[in-house]
Amino acid sequence: MRPIVAIIGRPNVGKSTFFNKICGKRISIVDDTPGVTRDRIYADAEWCGHNFLLVDTGGLDEKSDDHFQKDIKRQAEIAINEAHVIVFLVDGKSGLTNGDEEVASILKKSKTPVVLVVNKLDNFEVENTYEFYSLGLGEPYPLSVEQSKGIGDVLDKIVSYFPEKAGKSDEKTTKIAIVGRPNVGKSSLVNALVGSSRVVVSNIEGTTRDSVLVPFRFNKKDYAFVDTAGLRRQRGVEKESIEGYSVLRTMNAIEEADVVLIVFDGSAEKLSEQDTRIAGFVHEAGKPSVVVVNKWDIKQSDKNSYEKMLERDLAFMSYFKSIYVSALTKAGVGQIMEKAEEVLANSSKRITTGLLNDILHDAILNYQPPAHKGRRVKVQYITEVSTNPPTFVLFVNDAKLINFSYRRYLENRLREKIDFSGTPIKLIIRGKEGKE
């Protein structure tokens, strides 16, 4: 198991900026508004051959009247308990505060090693670290995240606490993004799936702002759920707002995911325009997916009629696989991972060229390609060139002669013979001169 490094501190001490800098990309939202980070946000990190999981947590503020502060504190406490090393970040500009002392008292109760880091020392004023010795957490390390000063020393100290062979596993973590509109129950589903209150759940729209990574194991393999912010209609979201960044992170989560769970509110009478748009994002990204109809305990209606509605509204992704669940009662939740593994396996299928050409031969015998201005298509052969999604190249004399309807016919014949349920497939038509 890779070591876990948790970043703890008050609001606005630069935890998310530090987190992003070490990860090498912008994962956690950075904003001057306190309470932006609410959940535990995980990301892969590496330093000098050591691989580890870095965890960003919400700012701890006992005096805050933020509705979510209790949840933030609970999530931070869980991060402290599961961490192998804790980075306690303080603000060198504002100096030592009562809030720092309160956080330090929490950390002292833990037996986990603590690296005390004094941030915002842009001119590297080491003398500004001295007062933090009084916290009783050892030597304070000066840092300027903005100037990238002192990061190496901090990381050296962090990895010094790791076991010698920590993080050497080459096993890939499969990422499963969970997407949908606000309040469809995405975070509740994550908690039900992993069996703990892993992410903050609330009826308040927009509770989840970051894409929250939740590592877990299933069937002896490493997985991570990526709980994302609810996607509203774009015209209702300002690009530079916190929610605007949340939308960008959700789109990035879809792009980086191996599988996507598309969550719909089963208690609603019909799919909204935004529901189908979100499904379209996943389809266009070429990701295998499972349609998860949540809150089915509320509706208790005819599943067949709901499935027919899905077939109508999701006609552009007729390959979809659906499951009906309740995050509240946990009914059906246990089958979600089985479906996710199934669609991922379908997306990863390698089909031999021989079998593909047998299917193609039968398809052409059954229905010849239409002629265009007296010219007929001469089909040569078909082969699979990549997976995730399965991508096939059909070689012909002139690519322009294969129209959309015949392309769709060939795709349907492939699906009839081979189980590609839950995953899009791509069919590229290539002519003699290499034109598509």
Q: What is the share, in percent, of the chain residues with pLDDT greater than 90?
A: 47
- Residue 390: is its pLDDT beyond 70? yes
Q: What is the pLDDT of residue 248?
A: 59
Rounded Cα distance, 262 and 274, in Å = 12
Rounded Cα distance, 208 and 213, in Å = 12
Mean of all residue pLDDT scores within the chain = 83
Contacts of 405 (CB under 8 A, 6+ apart): none
R_g of the chain, CA atoms, integer Å: 26
**Strand pairing of 391-396 and 379-386?**
antiparallel
Q: What is the pLDDT of residue 206?
A: 40
DSSP state of 400: G
CATH superfamily, with its number, for domain 353-430? K homology (KH) domain (3.30.300.20)
In which band, very low, low, confident or very high, does the pLDDT at 100 lie, cut at 50, 70 and 90?
very high
Q: What is the pLDDT of residue 415?
A: 97
> 212's torsion region: left (phi>0), alpha (psi -120 to 50) or beta?
beta
In terms of pLDDT, which residue wins out, 403 or 291?
291
- Residue 229: is its pLDDT beyond 80? no
Q: What is the pLDDT of residues 163-179, one digit of tens each?
A: 875 544 556 789 999 99
In which band, very low, low, confident or very high, does the pLDDT at 339 lie, cut at 50, 70 and 90?
very high
Q: What is the pLDDT of residue 58?
A: 78
Rounded Cα distance, 412 and 367, in Å = 13
Rounded Cα distance, 201 and 214, in Å = 14
Q: Are 142 and 120 in contact (CB under 8 A)?
A: no
Q: What is the pLDDT of residue 165?
A: 56
313-350 core/surface letters (b: 16 or more CB in 10 A; e: else) = bbeebebbbbbbbbbeeeebbeebbebbbbbbebbebe
Assess whether the previous peptide bond of 389 is cis (omega < 30° from 0): yes
Q: What is the pLDDT of residues 132-163, one digit of tens each?
A: 999 999 999 999 998 889 999 999 999 999 98
64 is written with which tokens? 């805050």
- Provide the CATH topology of domain 4-159: Rossmann fold (3.40.50)
Q: What is the pLDDT of residue 301?
A: 66
In which band, very low, low, confident or very high, does the pLDDT at 349 lie, cut at 50, 70 and 90?
very high
pLDDT average, residue stretch 243-256: 64
In which band, very low, low, confident or very high, does the pLDDT at 435 lie, cut at 50, 70 and 90?
low
Q: Which CATH number fits domain 174-347: 3.40.50.300, 2.60.40.10, 3.90.1150.10, 3.40.50.2300?
A: 3.40.50.300
Nearest to 344 by CA among 411, 419, 410, 294: 419
Q: What is the pLDDT of residue 3?
A: 87
What are the CA-CA distances from residue 349 to residues 279, 346, 387, 425 (Å)? 22, 5, 7, 11
Q: What is the pLDDT of residue 199?
A: 42
Rounded Cα distance, 136 and 88, in Å = 12
pLDDT average, residue stretch 94-115: 90
- Residue 416: is its pLDDT beyond 60? yes
In terms of pLDDT, which residue wins out, 409 or 57?
409
Q: What is the pLDDT of residue 239?
A: 42
pLDDT average, residue stretch 284-305: 88
Same topology, domains 4-159 and 174-347? Answer is yes
pLDDT average, residue stretch 14-39: 63
Q: What is the pLDDT of residues 38-83, one digit of tens each?
A: 456 777 888 988 888 888 887 777 665 555 557 677 777 877 888 8
Q: Hey, where are the domains in the chain?
A: 4-159, 174-347, 353-430
pLDDT average, residue stretch 215-237: 71
Q: What is the pLDDT of residue 24?
A: 75
Rounded to 10 deg, the angle between the 69-82 and 98-108 helix axes is 40
In which band, very low, low, confident or very high, does the pLDDT at 10 lie, cut at 50, 70 and 90?
confident
Sequence letter at residue 75: Q
In terms of pLDDT, which residue wins out, 354 or 190?
354
pLDDT average, residue stretch 114-121: 95
Q: What is the pLDDT of residue 154?
A: 95
Q: What is the pLDDT of residue 364?
A: 94
Rounded Cα distance, 194 and 214, in Å = 8
